[in-house]
Structure 1
Amino acid sequence: MDRIKELLEKLKEQKLEGIFLTKESNVNYISNFSDEAAFALICEKGNFLITDGRFTELAESLCKGFTIVNWHKFDRNLQKAVAIVCKENEINKLGFEKTHMTFDVYKKLENEAKSLDIELIPTEGLVEELRYIKDSEEIENLRKACKIADKALEELLPYIKPGISENDLAAKLEYYMKVNGAQSIGFETILISGSKTSLPHGKPNNKVIENGDFVTIDFGALYNGYISDMTRTFVVGQPSEEQIKVYNLVKDAQEVGLNSLKPGICSKVPDDNIREIIKEYEKFYYPGIGHGVGRELHEQPFLGNYGTKIIEAGCVITVEPGLYIPGWGGVRIEDTVLVKEEGIEILTHFSKDLIILK
């Protein structure tokens, strides 16, 4: 319940009597709920998980310290349920997540709130600030998600050869993640080959792997609500000198980025240092070189030339520099990394040496 205590302290600072959470990752973080279609209302007098009849039994088993509210019993009106819970718990100033509530939901809630003299006050980032530093349980979940991804890629490797399609490989990889313990995939798998590897977020299709292709795989496993994120790039058949050169440059750049991470630095610093390594190819460099990862794939802090956050011990961050040369191909190497008081722990362990697949 420490998370709730910390959130209540933030509410006091902003002179709020309660907060209505609508963002799924924030609801799940604060309540331990593990599914969709749920909302949370937190106040001094109690904690409420608001869902419908499909999920009440699950919520009762998972959300200890919460009163479960089935909004279908309030004339199937979510906003009415929220307003009545507020009135019953003497909440006259209710915060809401302004960047995560749709206009339609807001207007309906506003109508219900007005009828009961409840003031709606927009907030931003209150729960995200709590999620910035991961606790020991979160870190263990992320370690497990990374371990599953490592194992799945190891099992996929023998199938990466000429003649197999990107779609076939992506399906096998996602299967191996699930049989190794993932709840699901963490995000849509990027598995691309040949000149398509110049697309940072290219999508797999029926293109078949050919000799001389780079194969870039960016993927992650979802475990207990937490997401791993890893990218590896391989060569099928004999690599060219240019492929070896670009690959090694990215590998060196990633090492510099990893070595830059420590508590107290600005999230812009790793990008500054990487640019010194890739000067010759800088026009092919994408400056977004990493991001926080946890219950969401992309969280603060974001690493890049636009970074403003201060890295702290307990942040879990990806480091993923890449070079993307249109019409030729590209290389990205990415790890999920835990920042510690002294040094870092790389949570994704698959080899980063250039692997040549025959």
Structure 2
Amino acid sequence: MRDSRLAKLRARMQERKLDALLVTSIPNIFYLTGFTGSAAAALVTFDNVFVLVDPRYTVQATAECAGCHVVEYANKSATVALAEQVGELDIATAGYEADDLTVSAFRRLRAGIPKRVSLRATRNLIEELRRVKDADEIQLIRKACAIADKAFEDVIGQISVGMREKEIALLVDSTLRRVGADKEAFETIAASGPNSACPHASPT
């Protein structure tokens, strides 16, 4: 699955004459490598995928990112570590995720990367691939829908008059986990009465 994603990404990189792509968006890193941690950077070339993590995530990345080179960095930012990794490779043009990097992060990146390397802004290079779901993703979506349906049926049967919204939200969360969910997509919203007019109500 990841191999086909990388193949499609590399084809797009070739079209744009990029030797490498610097990936800083955590959802995009997960999509390409399977890494589920909350802090990392990745460097995709035509030969390798480097996943850069701090010591908290080395063991996890090694287990999750099969086929990738896991690089541990310490006492520096992911951006600086990424720049150093680029400097070790024979790269002339590298793309970066323009909509993910802050100005300060880009400046650190530019300062750390050798001047021989040209940086080129990219937008939606990976996101456009993510829009088309593969068979595994479709199966996972169907599974998630079935879990949500089962949880809803179970919760409806347990709600009673007088329950607080917070109690219902907690019931939803625990039921989702019990029937197979890993976690909630966002904080559960349970709203009743006048509060139900607020799409993003906070349970009381």
TM range, smaller chain: over 0.9
For residues 184 and 48 of structure 2, what CA distance do their matches in structure 1 show? Answer: 34
**Matched length:** 202
Larger Rg: 1
Q: How does 1:280-299 map to 2 (within 5 A)?
A: none
* 3-state secondary structure, aligned to 2:202: coil
- 2:51–2:68 Cα contact (<8 Å) kept: yes
- 1:17–1:94 Cα contact (<8 Å) kept: yes
For residues 188 and 80 of structure 2, what CA distance do their matches in structure 1 show? Answer: 40
Q: Give ranges in structure 1 of 5+ residues lacking alignment.
A: 206-358
1:89 and 2:77 correspond: no
For residues 5 and 203 of structure 2, what CA distance do their matches in structure 1 show? Answer: 39
Q: Is the alpha carbon distance of 1:77 and 1:165 closer, same or farther for their aligned partners in structure 2, counting shifts above 3 Å?
A: closer
Q: How does 1:323-342 map to 2 (within 5 A)?
A: none
| TM-score (norm: length of structure 2) | 0.92
Matched with 1:79 is 79
* 3-state secondary structure, aligned to 1:185: coil
Q: How does 1:313-328 map to 2 (within 5 A)?
A: none
Give how far 1:77 is off: 4.0
Percent identity of the aligned residues?
Answer: 32
- 1:17–1:93 Cα contact (<8 Å) kept: yes
- 1:93–1:118 Cα contact (<8 Å) kept: yes
Matched with 2:56 is 54
Q: Over residues 226-257 of structure 1, what are the superposed CA-to-partner deviations in whole Å (9 max), with x where a residue is unaligned?
A: xxxxxxxxxxxxxxxxxxxxxxxxxxxxxxxx
- 2:41–2:79 Cα contact (<8 Å) kept: no
- 1:86–1:92 Cα contact (<8 Å) kept: no
Q: Over residues 47-92 of structure 1, what are the superposed CA-to-partner deviations in whole Å (9 max), with x where a residue is unaligned?
A: 11111111111111111121001122xx534333212322322122
* 3-state secondary structure, aligned to 1:130: helix
| TM-score (norm: length of structure 1) | 0.54
For residues 111 and 192 of structure 1, what CA distance do their matches in structure 2 show? Answer: 50
Letter in 2 for 1:147: A
Q: Over residues 159-184 of structure 1, what are the superposed CA-to-partner deviations in whole Å (9 max), with x where a residue is unaligned?
A: 32221111110011001111222221
Matched with 2:195 is 196
For residues 86 and 123 of structure 2, what CA distance do their matches in structure 1 show? Answer: 20
Q: Give ranges in structure 2 of 5+ residues lacking alignment.
A: none
Letter in 2 for 1:81: A
For residues 44 and 33 of structure 1, what CA distance do their matches in structure 2 show? Answer: 20
User: Which structure has greater helix proportion?
Assistant: 2
Give how far 1:158 is off: 2.4
User: Which structure has greater strand proportion?
Assistant: 1
- 2:41–2:82 Cα contact (<8 Å) kept: no
Q: List, as ranges, runs of 4+ consecutive aligned residues in structure 1 with deviation greater than 4 Å.
A: none
For residues 105 and 192 of structure 1, what CA distance do their matches in structure 2 show? Answer: 40
For residues 156 and 43 of structure 2, what CA distance do their matches in structure 1 show? Answer: 46
* 3-state secondary structure, aligned to 1:90: coil
Q: How does 1:147-226 map to 2 (within 5 A)?
A: 147-205=146-204
Q: Quick one: which of 12, 34, 37 aligns to 2:36? A: 34
For residues 132 and 78 of structure 2, what CA distance do their matches in structure 1 show? Answer: 32
For residues 107 and 130 of structure 2, what CA distance do their matches in structure 1 show? Answer: 28
For residues 50 and 92 of structure 2, what CA distance do their matches in structure 1 show? Answer: 16
